[in-house]
Chains A and B, each alone.
Chain A
Amino acid sequence: MLRFEDSDRFDDRQKAALRYTSAILWDSSIADDDLWAQLHAYFTEPELVELGFFIALTSGQQRWIKTLGIGHREVLGDTQVGLAAADSE
């Protein structure tokens, strides 16, 4: 997934969304005129607002959680639902 640009597993719409994610996460200059043209071709403006907000929310939360040192099954850990890697937030 981290090499999505060279992958044939993702379609053009998905790649545009992942480029948008990269721009928010790492480098706002990725969001150039070409990317915005792609984004407007594949998504409505409300969708772009929601996706941008959600990426900001989940990336911030994940970065915060990494500092906390929490483990799996430490709270109400009697089910199997939260054990998948790269899961939850």
Chain B
Amino acid sequence: MPNISYPPPDSLPPDDRDLLEHARWNGTPRPESQSIRSHVPAVLHTFTNAWRETFIEGVLDHSVKELCRVYVSQSIECDY
């Protein structure tokens, strides 16, 4: 189990639960990390908005950002 608990998804407000459902079906960000962020709704929403607006959307082609994201993951040996 993680070092910070997962709040039960059913205990979350609808907007927060929706973000976990998105993670459930899209995988990015992961449901586990989104669950931990949901302890602080401002963290969950701020991270999700920044992720969407600068990674999924944004001014730079997504492929470059994905390349750099994978490079970061491999550099720090992170599977997440």
Contact = CB atoms under 8 A, between A and B. Distances in A.
Interface of A: 1-2, 4, 10, 13-14, 17-18, 20-22, 25-26, 43-44, 46-47, 50-51, 53-55, 57-59, 61-63, 65-72, 74-79, 81-89
A81 B75 CA distance: 23
A17 to B, nearest CB: 5
A44 B9 CA distance: 41
Interface of B: 1-4, 6, 9, 20-21, 23-36, 47, 50-51, 54-55, 58-60, 64-65, 67-76, 78-80
A65 B80 contact: yes
B60 A88 contact: no
Contact of B33 (A50, A51, A65, A86): A65
Contact of A51 (B4, B6, B60, B79): B60
Given A62-B73, A86-B79, A75 B59 contact: no
